[in-house]
Amino acid sequence: MSQTPVIDADQSSFKECYRGRQSWLHHAAYLRMGKVLLALALCRRAGVSLADKDILDYGFGAGTFFRYCPPDSRLFGVEIDPLNVEAVRAMLQERGGGGADLRVIEIESWDTHALLDRPYDVILCSHVLEHLPDPVTFLKKMRECLTPSGVFLGLVPLNERIMDPHHVQRLDREKIHAFNEAAGLRVRTYLEADPWLYWFQPLFTRESGLVHKIAQAVSIALGLPATLLGAEAWFAVSKIYAAVSRSRPTQAAFLSVRA
């Protein structure tokens, strides 16, 4: 049992929300691709290659990021739903990436997990920090899991117009820097991007009903062009959209190293 439980207990909806969602169309949804493209853009901006690296995706969700990792990278990941972990493993095996080491993690004992007892070149933590009551304790543990030249990639939501009911942190640039500093990390690259869901964001706080269906349609309508265009072109178009629609950035992405 963890001495310092840093994960809010009420994350139980993530136990089932990824089940049966491994089709190409599911992976193209903007709720997934918007994050993956930003993570890839962050790496490019920071001059970090994912090739031939040991990569841990902590809280990998449906595993979409893994699909964009180079074939010679070695993939590791933890998630909380055993059925989802199995489905993502099968998806990667089908794509020829059978070597991924994906394991179930239990929230109550997260910090003693076997995959957190070894170093990684790259750790991705996409849209997880905002779920944690104590992100600093979590980041300290992630720091311990970095190789000396390893990098931590963090993605978090910004400017939520209605706070997602699963989020326990409202993050901004100052907090991100403060959390990293307190954890012994230094933010080397920081980006704010992705205006697309700014006005639509309240739709995404609902988990069922008509509004939820509309949110899913929006996610597909944006995700398809984003997937087809790729990170560079998508973020170029995004700048024009942000100016025209007066949208604020909905995500921050940062790359941290040991201080």
Tell me if 105 contacts ligand SAM by CB under 6 A: yes
Whose Cβ is closer to ligand SAM: residue 16's or residue 94's? 16
Distance of CA 140 to the CA centre of its chain: 18
Whose Cβ is closer to ligand SAM: residue 20's or residue 240's? 20
Choice from 27, 131, 140, 141 touching ligand SAM (CB under 6 A): 131
Tell me if 78 contacts ligand SAM by CB under 6 A: yes
Contacts of 211 by beta carbon, 8 Å cutoff, 6+ apart: 203
Q: Is the dihedral of CA 30, 31, 36, 39 positive or negative?
A: positive
Tell me if 126 contacts ligand SAM by CB under 6 A: yes
Task: Quote the CA–CA distance of 154 and 123 in Å, as a whole number.
Answer: 8
Contacts of 154 by beta carbon, 8 Å cutoff, 6+ apart: 125, 126, 129, 176, 253, 254, 255, 256
- Supply the minimum distance, in Å, between the C-beta of residue 240 and ligand SAM: 25
∠ CA 38-43-48, rounded to 5°: 170
- Supply the minimum distance, in Å, between the C-beta of residue 26 and ligand SAM: 11
The stretch among 42-50, 122-130, 141-149, 178-186 that binds ligand SAM (CB under 6 A) is 122-130
- Supply the minimum distance, in Å, between the C-beta of residue 133 and ligand SAM: 11
Residue-level length of the chain: 259
Alpha helix segments (H runs only) across 6-134:
24-28, 30-46, 82-94
Tell me if 140 contacts ligand SAM by CB under 6 A: no
Residue 77, strand partner residues: 57, 102
Give the contact letters, 10-29, x = binds to ligand SAM (CB under 6 A), - = no: -x--x---------------
Footprint on this chain of ligand SAM (rule: CB under 6 A): 7, 11, 14, 32, 35, 59-61, 78-80, 105, 107, 110, 126-128, 131
